[in-house]
Amino acid sequence: MGKESRVPLKVVVAAMLCVALCSGCAPKVVQYVDSGRSYDATAALSVLDGTDSSAVAQKATSLGPKLRSEALAGLTRQGSSASEIAGLLTRTFPSTANGVPLYVERMTFGGKPSVLVVEAIGPEGGVLASKRLWVISDAGDVLFSGTR
């Protein structure tokens, strides 16, 4: 029989602790919905109000561009429609933007095919404690926005 290799228990415990702690560090993947529903301003604002931002609410605003990039990368892994929207958001908003997408929905607004985006935002030097809503056309034109 071969010689058994034993990993010290404290190494195993440390590795498990690291995985547990790190899994709570990153925000959840941006939620993507391809509903095709029709929204007006009131309905869009209700989506803003109903979106959970707790995963990033205490993160420093300075981390926004990094978290945004991670969220967009996660969006690209949710199918071709979500990937197209990630490309649209990348072209529409600068890479230095500190808004972190939380919720993205393919829908219509005023009869136009559109994308609704709820993102976490915050003031310079602060935390991502507020939310902003964008409704943008497939061409990247802003059709409606709101902040809470």
Percent of the chain with pLDDT over 70: 81
The residue segments making up the domain with residue 76 are 27-147
pLDDT over 70 (residue 134): yes
Look at residues 78, 65, 94, 81 and name the one whose alpha carbon lies nearest to residue 30: 78
Other C-beta atoms closer than 10 Å to the C-beta of 111 total: 7
Report if residue 93 sits inside a domain.
yes
Domain annotation covers residue 19: no
Within-domain flag for 87: yes
Task: Report the C-alpha gap between 56 and 63 in whole angstroms.
Answer: 10
Summarised one tens digit per residue, pLDDT across range 33-74 is 999 899 999 999 999 999 999 999 999 999 999 999 999 999
- Is 22 a member of any domain? no
pLDDT recorded at residue 6: 58
| Number of domains comprising the chain | 1
Output the average pLDDT for the chain.
85
Q: What integer pLDDT is reported at residue 95 of this predicted model?
A: 79
- pLDDT for residue 86: 96
Evaluate whether residue 6 is within a structural domain.
Answer: no
CA 23 to chain centre: 16
Asked if residue 24 has pLDDT above 80, the reply is no
Name which of 2, 6, 22, 25 is nearest 14 in CA terms: 22
Domain presence at residue 44: yes
Please indicate, yes or no, if residue 92 is contained in any of the structural domains: yes
Range among 4-18, 26-40, 83-97, 113-127 with highest mean pLDDT value: 113-127
Rounded-to-integer distance, Cα 20 and Cα 36, Å: 37
Mean pLDDT of 102-125: 96
The answer to whether position 127 is within a domain reads: yes
pLDDT at 85: 96
The mean-pLDDT minimum among 1-15, 61-75, 99-113 falls in 1-15
